[in-house]
Amino acid sequence: MSLTSMAPAPALTLPAPYGSCPYDPPPAYLEAAAERPLTRTVLPDGSPCWLITGYPEVRAVLADARFSADARTPGFPFLSPGQRELATAQPSFIRMDDPEHARLRRMVTKDFLVKRIEALRPGIQRIVDEAVDRMLAKGAPVDLVGDFALPVPSLVICLMLGVPYQDHDFFQSLSRTLLDNSTTHEQAARAHHELMSYLARLAADKQQKPGDDILSRLVARDDLTPQETASLGFLLLVTGHESTANMSAMCTLALLRDPKQATLLRERPALIPAAVEELLRHLTIIHLGLARVAKEPVEIAGTSLVAGDAVICMLSTANRDAGLFGPEGCTHPSQLDLTRDARRHLAFGFGVHQCLGQPLARAELHIILETLLRRLPGLRLAVPEEELEFSTGSIVYGVKALPVSW
Ligand code: HEM
């Protein structure tokens, strides 16, 4: 055997490239997951990072306070210079540890409780119906992303926050820039500054002329600095529209590709809530994983990590755990099966940072799917599937445009 053939294989560099199937996580992640629950990898800047792919291990890391979500902690992993800028300059609570994280999250917890969101359902239904009316009036083909999936959650979060929807081109394009992994440090700094300044101005206006919205309530508090208020608004505005927009377009595409399962839902709409959990599991749109760093020594699946060890928790591979989601006799977890019990998926994360907006995302997805299936029974792709392009370089995965007719 030659020396070269004995050399250890070079470590996998994150993020790994996608394979031929745009609905599957990159093959390198699936291969790593099949071998072991954590794998040594390297980040684009050459620094080492543990890729956590197993379901129990991802859950354990996300629930463990010995891991930090604060990007200023030494060793924190960044997939790009733009992400470093976004996470470290004036971070929002998604990039903080407790007790700071808990103090700021508490300011908006009530607004996203299931009970509060249930009361918003009629308003969300109206927004969805009006978006369908506009598509019908425009006539086929339309781009389901630009004409429906993006406006619906944007309108909802604008109403909740008190952000004028007419500014949607401005905040949607800045959000896209910030979530794109190819964004440079300078571009991210500019986009972050522009959006934060916009929210700070809006918050200041609300101090003079308060409305019935989250931002007005936040500026009236005396335990938040103006910068903290702007940063809360920033986090809710960006997370509130972009993830649901991508998820609803991907859900629609998944159903268009699988008419049998779409028919099942059309005939039995009561299955929609469970189907949404399976779609969340199967699509797991946060494809680049969740970043954390060890603050002290910790053992994961028999491997000792030391303080400063970076980890990326891969939700997409955890959500394909065969023992949990595809026990013997059931469909393999790589398949979409709307009758599967997928409730334990990790698409919204886990632990103290678990998605604050999940009741809202669920309500929106339930209403969107039910309405599209009922009002547009002939919905179909208006271009060959191979022509669709996916946002492979974004923190939030999705289809860039979805031309449809009916
Ligand atoms: C956090 C996914 C919709 C607000 C998260 C996290 C995930 C996630 C995986 C955890 C991040 C981490 O641990 O580092 C999703 C998906 C969505 C969605 C898949 C749609 C299908 C929403 C919506 C909102 C929202 C509609 C509304 C404002 C948040 C916030 C956090 C968060 C504020 C930070 C929570 C914290 O750090 O305590 N989301 N999200 N998300 N999400 Fe969502």
Tell me what pLDDT residue 6 has.
56
Calculate how far, in angstroms, residue 239's C-alpha sits from the geometric centre of ligand 1: 6
* Whole-angstrom distance, CA of residue 308 vs CA of residue 75: 5
Strand duo 310-313 + 48-52: pairing: parallel
Name the residue among 13, 72, 12, 68 with its Cα closest to residue 352.
68
Ligand 1 atom nearest to CA at 236: 28
Q: Where are the domains of the chain?
A: 3-405
Q: Whose CA is nearest to atom 7 of ligand 1?
A: 348
Locate 199 and state its tokens: 């929210």
Please name the residue whose Cα sits nearest to atom 22 of ligand 1: 357
Asked if residue 240 has its Cβ within 6 Å of ligand 1, the reply is yes
Question: Residue 82 contacts by C-beta under 8 Å, 6 or more apart in sequence?
Answer: 178, 180, 181, 182, 183, 184, 185, 187, 188
Nearest atom in ligand 1 to the alpha carbon of residue 351 is: 13
**Token pair 């678990």: residue:** 354
Predicted-assembly ipTM surpassing the 0.90 threshold? yes
Residue ranges in the chain whose pLDDT is less than 50: 1-5
**For residue 330, what pLDDT is reported?**
83
**pLDDT recorded at residue 328:** 81
Instruction: Tell me how far CA of residue 48 lies from CA of 44, 76, 293, 305, 310, in angstroms.
Output: 9, 11, 12, 12, 7
* Ligand 1 atom at minimal distance to the Cα of residue 62: 13
Q: What is the pLDDT of residue 86?
A: 83
Residue of 355, 365, 367 to mutate, ligand 1, most atoms within 8 A of C-beta: 355
Counting atoms of ligand 1 from 1, which one is nearest the CA of 241? 26
Task: Convert 302-341 to b/e letters by CB count within 10 Å (16 or more is b).
Answer: eeebeeebbbbbbbbbbbbbeebbbeeeeeebeebbbebe
Q: Residue 7's pLDDT is what?
A: 60
Q: Which fold has domain 3-405?
A: Cytochrome p450 (1.10.630)
245: CA distance to ligand 1 center in Å? 13
Q: Which pLDDT value is given to residue 90? A: 82
What is each CA distance from 217 to 91, 99, 107, 110, 164, in whole angstroms? 21, 22, 10, 12, 16
